[in-house]
A and B are shown apart, each in its own frame.
Chain A
Amino acid sequence: MNALPPLPRRSSGAAKLVDGLSSLGLSCTLLCLLLFITWRGTMAQVDLGLFEAQKKYFDSLYFVEMAGPIPVLLPGAYLVLGVLTINLVLGGILRLRRGVATLGVLITHLGIVLMIVAGLVKFHYSIDGAMRLDPNAQVSSFTSYHDWEVAIAKVDGSDAQRVWLVPGTDFLEMSPAQTRTFRHPELPFAVSMSGFARNAFIRQHVAGNPRGARVVDGFFVDPMPLELENEFNEAGCYVDVSQNASGQRSEGILWGANRAPFVVRVDDETWTIDLRRRRFELPFAVRLDRFVKDDHPGVTMARDFRSFVTRTENGLEQGVEISMNEPMRHGGYIFYQSNWGPQRAPPGTPLYSVLTVVSNPSDQWPLISCLVILAGMSLHFGRKLWLFAQRSGASS
């Protein structure tokens, strides 16, 4: 067996910690944990859906798993990957015995570290969302798949409307029983949100509806079970607007599926409050000139679909074609052809195109890491195979 040489005995605590963090025993333990977490997170998707399973098992520092009636605290993939990176850097790169025999291993470990760092950068600094393009419509923003926000704006007829935003992180974890109030020095009123549900349906109140439900203008917020696919959840809540000067209150309902925002009059001014998916503005606009969808003959499976768009930036126009596997990259954003609609529309219906828009600083790092790992592993295993073949030849 090619076991690593034993580490020299160290006396200080810091040295022992470094020894422990760089040990192969820790590598094996972390890999086993990662294997278990990946398996659990995969199986959990059946009941929780991808979004919730990802949050619980993969994006977390820890999670609690029930072993029968006993709760067991386990590290999440985020924590395990973090420690694994330290282990890799210390044990697999810095303390690795240098030589021709380990050159491939060193390169491979460098590639893996680069890939984990790429994942970390993507996790913390990337944004993504969807852009719906109707025929000939020009759009310069896209909306997040998962993040929400409350947008407060004054209706003054100007194009450059100023918007005050309440980020989703301030209310997404609220329970229906909680109330949270938001104020801003520039706003002449305070906004209170209550009865929040990440997935809700707004129903008309009739006899037999849940007793005690708050009713606003004959409607109430009905919390629904979360959809397995988070994109289909439509958040909803009650909103109370309390004017700073007079203390006058107005109440309403905010719902993600509403096409129009809640409108309120304050001191002869009209304000809108909108619960919506987080919106990102682009430094340029995109217009859909033509959308082409081609089905396989006789079946309803799309063979190809692509958007012909015009990108407008600083008055300059450029035509671009976006299709599956052929995204448009521009200004730090990448536009992918992801969908179209309306689905199952009869022939001749004008179709809209849906693009996924991503901004990811580590976009191409995985490709570089893949090439590095390929080179490292090919070198290491190729050398081993060569030596083995030589030994076999010699012995025969």
Chain B
Amino acid sequence: MIRSTMRALASVMVAWTCAASAVAQTAEPPAVRRLEPWAKSTRDAAETMAIQDQGRVKPLSTFARFLLLRLSAGTSLALDAEGKVKLSPTEFALDCLFFQEQAMEYPVILVEDYDVLDAVGLGRIEGKRKRDRYSYHQLAPCFDRLFEQANRLNEIETRHQTPIQKQIVNLARNVDAFVAFLSWQTFSVIPPPQGEKEWLSPIQVRQREQFGETLPAQADVVARLMAMRDKLGSMSALDAAFTPLAADLAKMATDRGEYDKIPLEVSFYATNYFFWARWLFAAAFVFAALVFLAPKFSLTVWLTQGTLAPAVLLLCTGITIRCILRERPPVSTLYETILFITAVAVLVTLFIEWLQPRRVSQLIGAALGFAGMSLAGWYEEISGTDTMPQLQAVLDTNFWLSTHVTTVTMGYAAGLLASAISIAWVLVKTVVVVRGHFRETSTWLPAMTRMAYGALCFGALFSTVGTILGGIWANESWGRFWGWDPKENGALMIVLGILIILHARLGGYVRERGLHVLSILLGCIVVFSWFHTNQLGVGLHAYGFDEKLGRMIDRTYASLLVFAGLGSAIGVVDWMRERRRTVAAATSQSVQV
């Protein structure tokens, strides 16, 4: 890595002449600063410019969005402390490409903990918080030690690294990615000649020309890009050169049949379906809660439905557009499981609400929707990578993705839904126990038990069938039905968990409270299967250990155990109170006698 970074650093200094090393032009990079905002037409053209990254052709705006997310854990870049001056991902990308010196001053590289800077010998910079963003120039003095340490730490398995060591490795990778873009190494926007599939960066075009290849169309693009260096002083002049070039690049991509989904993807991210869905779910939750506080006030009912319906619609539309863009069923990555599980859980609550209109189900649905969308946003932020990646060869099968993956994910959704309903039951029951009475609980509590039972039945069907389908897929791909892989085992544990609850209920070993306590514990199993198995570092689904995700998993376990404990405790309190009441009644009867 250190070699590539040093090479990249060198190329930053000659970014404009990158190029340049081939055509032997000037040696000094121009240090022109951008004093005006980018022209709207330039921004629009850049947004819809296609770039090939991580094996797929995507809009430059998407590339920039995830680069910014990776570097700074945000989808826009605040240039001042108050956050009043902000750059969009596309503007940030344009500055990186054309005003490198300026971009190197942007506080864009997030350092999670300033102990990292101590560890690489930079020390603390005045005015910076423990977790803060730094510019390239601020970090530059520590690059030698940073990369030296990162190279050394790469020899250690991730699960054996300390949090600071992980952050050092991560910081080095992020600096590497930033420099690679600044130096145009990853600026692969030039479609290659017919017959080739790897897009070219301007540097690659020049290199191939150096080796005697003739690439007239590609060379023309590079020449036009180079010519823009003379127009940096005027945004309108730059726009006049950039916009037609972007249009020509789009035409080249269209001729290859690789541009058709670019506008849809641009509009998908611009519309921000999941962001709006999240806040509509939040609003729906508030209104649904108000329904209980003021049941006779019918406006809250309308407001709940008026916010919940568009939230679900936005979520489902977003998922559908992703399916169109990827030409895949709804679930093929861990990120997509979050979206799909949320959608399924919310839709099932709405179905239950339709069957049993007691307003409880829609409240739970809204809460789950908000939690799911928040989780999706958070997961996107911590992973900082394109959420539409290319798939491994074995996953390149829409039949199994649409049958096994979809089915087993619906089983996860049912397990989580049952757990959420049971948490609601425990909370309501706690209020009843503490206050002695809470309005309408005589109908709510049995209704919630029926809902949890229904969700468990739904989960039993989909988890069992989904898990077995996974085995059949494995049998078709690798010749073994069951390999005791952690992810397979996780799915089996969900099936076993549900079967235990259903059989224990059938045998009379648990009643209402027992069912809810077990159902909450089922939530732990779902979390284990969904996320924890990927963190173990073994098996076919090992994505490596992520510190933040690990913490989230631990906290979720702890919260669920607290709710399960509360459920058990209120049972004891309830039982003691009931017993006291019985004794008192018996005593008063005997006194009367």
Binding site for B on A (CB under 8 A): 1-4, 23-25, 27-28, 31-32, 34-35, 38-39, 41-43, 45-46, 49-50, 53-54, 58, 115, 118-119, 122, 128, 228, 295-299, 301-305, 324-325, 327, 334, 336, 338, 356-358, 360, 363, 366-367, 369-370, 373-374, 377-378, 381, 384-385, 388-389, 392, 396
Contact = CB atoms under 8 A, between A and B. Distances in A.
A39 B477 CA distance: 25
Contacts of B454: 385, 388
A48 to B, nearest CB: 10
A3 B392 contact: no
Contacts of B486: 42, 45
B422 interface: no
Contacts, number: 172
Contacts of B198: 297-298
Contacts of B489: 38-39, 41-42
Main secondary structure of the interface of B (DSSP, over half): helix
Interface string B490-531: 101100110110011111110100000000000001001000
B484 A1 contact: no
Interface stretch (B14-22, B50-58, B279-287, B559-567): B50-58
Given A28-B504, A360-B479, A366 B538 contact: no
Contact of B503 (A31, A303, A356, A363): A31
B438 to A, nearest CB: 22
Contacts of A369: 468
A174 B394 CA distance: 39
Contacts of B465: 370, 373-374, 377
Nearest to B356: A392
Interface string B129-171: 0000000000000000000000000000001000000000000
A60 to B, nearest CB: 12
Contacts of B355: 388-389, 392
A363 B397 contact: no
Contacts of B357: 396
A3 B507 CA distance: 5
B557 interface: no
A126 to B, nearest CB: 9
Given A297-B198, A336-B477, A377-B465, 4 more contacts: A24-B506, A31-B499, A38-B492, A305-B393
9 contacts: A24-B506, A25-B507, A39-B493, A42-B490, A296-B56, A334-B479, A370-B468, A370-B472, A377-B465
B481 A118 contact: yes
Nearest to B476: A325
B539 interface: yes
A381 B498 CA distance: 14
B472 A366 contact: yes
B475 interface: yes
B242 interface: no
B211 interface: no
Given A24-B503, A38-B489, A298-B53, A119 B482 contact: yes
A336 B356 CA distance: 50
A32 B497 CA distance: 8
Contacts of A24: 503, 506-507, 509
Contacts of B525: 35
A45 B457 contact: no
Contacts of B504: 28
A374 B460 CA distance: 10
Contacts of B480: 128, 358
Contacts of B400: 325
A146 B135 CA distance: 53
Contacts of A388: 355, 450, 454
A358 B479 contact: yes
A31 B477 CA distance: 29
B245 interface: no
B181 interface: no
Main secondary structure of the interface of A (DSSP, over half): helix
Interface in B56-85: 56
B390 A28 contact: no
B464 A377 contact: yes
Given A32-B500, A370-B468, A374-B465, A324 B396 contact: yes
Contacts of A27: 503, 507
Contact of B394 (A295, A296, A325): A325
B478 A115 contact: no
A311 to B, nearest CB: 17
A376 B397 CA distance: 28
A163 to B, nearest CB: 26
Contacts of B484: 41-42, 45, 50, 53-54, 58
A24 B464 CA distance: 20
Contacts of A32: 500
A307 B447 CA distance: 57
B500 A31 contact: yes
B536 A46 contact: yes
Contacts of B335: none
A43 B400 CA distance: 27
A298 B52 contact: yes
A31 B506 CA distance: 14
Given A128-B479, A324-B396, A325-B476, A297 B508 contact: no
B13 interface: no
A22 to B, nearest CB: 12
Contacts of A381: 457-458, 460-461
Nearest to A45: B538
B345 to A, nearest CB: 17
Contacts of B503: 24, 27-28, 31
A388 B351 CA distance: 13
Interface string B344-368: 0000000000011100000000000
B199 A297 contact: yes
Contacts of A49: 538
B571 interface: no
Contacts of A357: 479
A369 B493 CA distance: 19
Contact of B199 (A53, A298, A338, A396): A298
A23 B53 CA distance: 59
Contacts of B507: 3-4, 23-25, 27-28
B332 interface: no
A58 B493 CA distance: 14
Contacts of B54: 296, 298-299
A384 B456 CA distance: 13
Given A24-B507, A28-B500, A28-B507, A324 B477 contact: yes
A336 B475 CA distance: 9
Given A28-B504, A32-B500, A38-B493, A45 B536 contact: yes
B525 to A, nearest CB: 8
A315 B487 CA distance: 45
B390 A299 contact: yes
A325 B538 contact: no
Contacts of B409: none
B188 interface: yes
Which 8 pairs of residues, A with B, have the shortest CB-CB distance?
A296-B55, A24-B507, A358-B479, A3-B508, A370-B468, A35-B496, A42-B489, A297-B198
Given A325-B476, A367-B472, A377-B461, A35 B500 contact: yes
Contact of B55 (A118, A299, A324): A299
B460 A377 contact: yes
B537 interface: yes
B443 to A, nearest CB: 11
Contact of B393 (A35, A303, A367, A378): A303
B469 interface: yes
A35 B497 contact: yes
Nearest to A57: B484
Contacts of B476: 325, 327
A1 to B, nearest CB: 6
Given A1-B511, A45-B539, A128-B479, A298 B188 contact: yes
B478 A34 contact: no
Nearest to B515: A1
